[in-house]
Amino acid sequence: MATPIVGTDLLGLKGLERETLNHYLATAAEFEQIIRRDIKKVPTLRGKSVITLFYENSTRTRTSFEAAGKYMSADVINISGSTSSTTKGESLRDTFLTLQALTADCIIMRTPYSGAPEQAAAWVDVPVINAGDGMHEHPTQGLLDAYTIQKVKGPLDGLKVAIVGDVAHSRVARSNIWGLSTLGADVHIVGPNTLMPRDIHQLPVTVHNSLESGLAGADVVMVLRLQLERMNKALFPTAREYHMTFGINEATLRYAKPDAIVMHPGPMNRGLEIGGDLPDGHQSVVCQQVTSGVAVRMAALYLLLGADDIEG
């Protein structure tokens, strides 16, 4: 039986104990059982209100949180940046104080500003879940990736994970670096110098500039989304050259172990960072990641809101 982590926030995976991470993963496994039922609704969070506050467009993550809340019978209220008071000049702090006063039981936040969820968590008592903040962290993505890897490959201890692409701008990369390394995986990152942040080698990673060395012996190849706009800032020359040097396709995947799995947080640019057909192939776990996402987010809501029993 999972023990709640009541009254805390989920802001990032950095600094979380291995025990805590495992607690999230074990709880997610229980919830995966529930969402695989015919009637996938439990009264666990009945009477609780969960607010998603998204200052960036996101269909995938917001829907995943919404589904997680609804499967547990919470009232889920979605607020997006364009409908919120920020367009009227309200500060983030005032927005959070207002949502707290509206008696929200949990605020889930997506923001282009690194650190905003951590700052907001200090302004209110209600638990805050970071659903992605700028270039900082995306902890539920990190958890769902760890969950997916563990489910397919078994314990993370000693597994080699290669994270490929735009590490500099990626919150997914940071959450995975912290989460996976704490869980015992050997984390390698691969990408062009221009997409590597300064002093990244001081984090628990091995840095590579070539897929051949970065993927050698990898059990997991995690492909990061590449934003095409980055081309305009001289971060890489062309989509063509990017795909030739850092794209994951049938040919480059051969550098990894034959049974390596391929992951992508989505949305994918097929033909750019990932080969056109690869996501549909037998090594891809992209769709499993999405399902894991719902289970992990149910676990997060459950653990932070302190419901008595998983089944309610």
Q: How far is the CB of 89 from other proteins (least distance, A)?
A: 12
CA-closest candidate to residue 185, choices 214, 205, 165: 205
Q: Is 199 in the site for other proteins (CB under 8 A)?
A: yes
| Per-residue contact string for residues 254-273; x = within reach of other proteins by CB under 8 A | --------------------
Q: How far is the CB of 120 from other proteins (least distance, A)?
A: 9
* Sign of the torsion formed by the C-alpha atoms of 7, 9, 14 and 19: positive
The one segment of 23-31, 144-152, 195-203, 272-280 that binds other proteins by CB under 8 A? 195-203
Nearer to other proteins, 41 or 201 (CB): 201
Q: Is 300 in the site for other proteins (CB under 8 A)?
A: no
Among 174, 208, 243, 264, interactor with other proteins by CB under 8 A: 174
The H or E element containing residue 222 is: strand 220-223
| Per-residue contact string for residues 80-109; x = within reach of other proteins by CB under 8 A | -----------xxx----------------
Among 78, 114, 206, 209, interactor with other proteins by CB under 8 A: 114
Q: How far is the CB of 136 from other proteins (least distance, A)?
A: 3
Per the CB < 8 A criterion, the answer to whether 124 and 102 are in contact is no
Among 4, 81, 134, 312, interactor with other proteins by CB under 8 A: 134
- Partner residues linked to 80 by β-bridges: 54
Among 198, 258, 282, 308, interactor with other proteins by CB under 8 A: 198
Q: Is 114 exposed, middle or buried (CB count within 10 Å of its CB: 0-12, 13-18, 19+)?
A: middle
Q: How far is the CB of 78 from other proteins (least distance, A)?
A: 21
Antiparallel, parallel or unpaired: β 206-208 and 186-190: parallel
Among 7, 43, 184, 197, interactor with other proteins by CB under 8 A: 197
Nearer to other proteins, 64 or 170 (CB): 170
Q: How far is the CB of 97 from other proteins (least distance, A)?
A: 11
**Binding residues for other proteins, total number by CB under 8 A:** 25
* Sign of the torsion formed by the C-alpha atoms of 305, 175, 267 and 83: positive
The one segment of 71-79, 135-143, 214-222, 275-283 that binds other proteins by CB under 8 A? 135-143
Q: What SS3 class is residue 2?
A: coil
Q: Is 119 in the site for other proteins (CB under 8 A)?
A: yes
Q: How is the chain split among helix, strand and coil, in percent rounded to 5?
A: 40, 15, 40
C-beta atoms surrounding 215 within 10 Å: 23
Token pair recorded at residue 179: 């989460």
Show contacts with other proteins in window 6-25 (CB under 8 A): 14
The one segment of 67-75, 193-201, 219-227, 254-262 that binds other proteins by CB under 8 A? 193-201
Which phi and psi angles does 214 have, rounded to 5°? Answer: -70, -35
Q: How far is CA 172 from CA 86, 162, 179, 191, 264, in A?
A: 26, 13, 10, 15, 10
Nearer to other proteins, 66 or 137 (CB): 137
DSSP secondary structure string for all residues of 99-116: HHHTT-SEEEEEESSTTH
The Cα 16–Cα 9 span in angstroms is 11
Binding site for other proteins (CB under 8 A): 14, 91-93, 111, 113-116, 118-119, 123, 133-137, 171, 174, 197-200, 202-203
